[in-house]
Amino acid sequence: MRKRWFLSILTVGVIAAFVGSVVIGLDVARAQAPVRIGVIEPLSGPVAASGNYIRMGAEIARDWLNAKGGVLGRKVELVIEDNKSDPKEAASAAEKLIVRDKVPAIMGAWGSSMTLAAMPKLEEYGVPMVVETSSAASITKRGNPWIFRISPPSEMEAVGLEPYVDKLAIKKADFLAVNTDWGRGSIQAFGDLLKKKGLPVGAAEFMEQSATDMNAQITKIKTTGGDTLFLTTAVEQITLVLKQAQEQRLSRKIVTTGGSSSPTQLIKQAGAAAEGTYHIVFFMPWFPESMPDGKLATAFVDEWAKRGNPFEGLTEGFRGHDGIVTIAEAVKVAGKDDPKAVRDALWRVNLTGVNGPIHFEKDGPAGKESGQSKPSIFIVQIRDGKVALPEFARK
């Protein structure tokens, strides 16, 4: 008897929650509605840290915008969804944001597979998405005119490194990357760069996203006779690789790519093992004055610290800020928060975010181009337990 009771309560409860939330959603939509921006990030699962940093950055952008009066005289509201590092969830989240919350634009979805999974929904409903992190080339080359990316694909990163290749004195390089589209794309792009310069590549090893023991790969790399190791993965795995490389006495130049290396966290967690390593980053929170808009960058770093957010998250968190201000600017230019108008306006935005100037150029098949911005790319080095500009990069 108690079982039936319980079951009925549960069923009624679940359905009520579902229906109720829809009703409430409808209600809000009728009032003097805020400008709602959808955010899809991995807030749980193995890359929860990154997703949360981006969320924190987005929240700073939202609060700054609202402090200045919002957009079009209306408050900015973020509708944040967790894609649980699962493409299926990313697609469901996009659907919910578009249909239920009626957002005019979305920022997301961090990982390239998540972004790719959500893309058909964008086309189905005609809603633009600003891609803040994903690096797979295919995202802007698939002919989806609702995609606007502010992060650099791996190819652009390699181009950004090109001027420094000679200065780094690379003679033979090995690759160690996470076995995802990001890692593979990186190996492809930097491999092509080296080939262009006529430099040989030694080994190209992979590690699973959740792997913690890379000793086998390091042992193999030790035998190639290379002098540089390109490392592409998230900061936790970089920490492990550096520690294990130190244990195995792997002595060579290490260059991390992808911008997720969070050098501050590396110094804290890998200690001496991180000494001398180079990192390609898209934001330098250690000397924000040197960023294209020094004042904005410095203010961002200060606000981040004021909120008690971890310093190491800045190298990723800025993406959340830049994505939101880009969308807000587009809404302003469009004059209304209608998805199609916002999409058209995105082609006309010209602003400076924490990373630098944001302006979209056409990318992909003619007639169905996506937008790709050209972000600024920097290289830093860990020296004496601190982050500094490498000798050759000093102006």
Task: Report if residue 119 touches another protein, rule: CB under 8 A.
Answer: yes
Q: 170, 254 in Cβ contact below 8 A?
A: no
* CA angle at 269 for the pair 266 and 275, rounded to the nearest 5°: 50
Task: Report if residue 205 touches another protein, rule: CB under 8 A.
Answer: yes
* CA angle at 38 for the pair 32 and 43, rounded to the nearest 5°: 135
Task: Report if residue 213 touches another protein, rule: CB under 8 A.
Answer: yes
Q: Minimum CB separation from another protein for residue 351, in Å? A: 28
Closest CA to 168 of 69, 72, 257: 257
Q: 278, 381 in Cβ contact below 8 A?
A: yes
Instruction: Using the minimum distance from each CB to another protein, give the nearer residue, 86 or 329.
Output: 86
Instruction: Using the minimum distance from each CB to another protein, give the nearer residue, 136 or 301.
Output: 136
**Among the listed residues 107, 109, 129, 136, the single contact to another protein using CB under 8 A:** 136
Stretch that binds another protein, among 68-76, 145-153, 210-218, 368-376 (CB under 8 A): 210-218
Instruction: Write out the two tokens for 262.
Output: 């969070």
Stretch that binds another protein, among 159-167, 174-182, 284-292, 335-343 (CB under 8 A): 174-182
Q: Minimum CB separation from another protein for residue 286, in Å? A: 19
**Among the listed residues 110, 206, 318, 360, the single contact to another protein using CB under 8 A:** 206
DSSP letter assigned to residue 174: E
Instruction: Using the minimum distance from each CB to another protein, give the nearer residue, 228 or 269.
Output: 269
Task: Report if residue 220 touches another protein, rule: CB under 8 A.
Answer: yes
Task: Report if residue 179 touches another protein, rule: CB under 8 A.
Answer: yes
Q: 347, 360 in Cβ contact below 8 A?
A: yes
Report the b/e string of 3-29 with b at 16+ CB within 10 A. eeeeeeeeeeeeeeeeeeeeeeeeeee
Task: Report if residue 251 touches another protein, rule: CB under 8 A.
Answer: no
Stretch that binds another protein, among 145-153, 237-245, 282-290, 374-382 (CB under 8 A): 237-245
Task: Report if residue 217 touches another protein, rule: CB under 8 A.
Answer: yes
Size of the site for another protein (CB under 8 A): 88
Q: Minimum CB separation from another protein for residue 96, in Å? A: 6
Contacts of another protein in 283-312 (CB under 8 A): 310, 312
The phi, psi pair for 382, rounded to 5°, reads -95, 115
9, 10, 15, 19: CA torsion to nearest 10 = 80
**Among the listed residues 247, 289, 302, 361, the single contact to another protein using CB under 8 A:** 247
**Among the listed residues 28, 66, 75, 96, the single contact to another protein using CB under 8 A:** 96
Contacts of another protein in 11-70 (CB under 8 A): 11, 14-15, 17-18, 20-22, 25, 43-52
Task: Report if residue 268 touches another protein, rule: CB under 8 A.
Answer: yes
Contacts of another protein in 152-171 (CB under 8 A): none
Task: Report if residue 112 touches another protein, rule: CB under 8 A.
Answer: yes
Task: Report if residue 88 touches another protein, rule: CB under 8 A.
Answer: yes
Task: Report if residue 210 touches another protein, rule: CB under 8 A.
Answer: yes
Instruction: Using the minimum distance from each CB to another protein, give the nearer residue, 207 or 379.
Output: 207
For tokens 């937008």, the residue is 371
Terminal C-alpha separation, the chain: 79
Three-state DSSP state, 272? helix
Residue 8: enclosing H or E segment and its boundaries? helix 2-30
Residues 6+ positions from 342 with CB-CB distance below 8 Å: 104, 105, 128, 327, 330, 331, 334
Q: Minimum CB separation from another protein for residue 87, in Å? A: 5
Task: Report if residue 82 touches another protein, rule: CB under 8 A.
Answer: yes
How many CB atoms within 10 Å of residue 302? 11
Q: How far is CA 242 from the centre of its chain?
A: 23
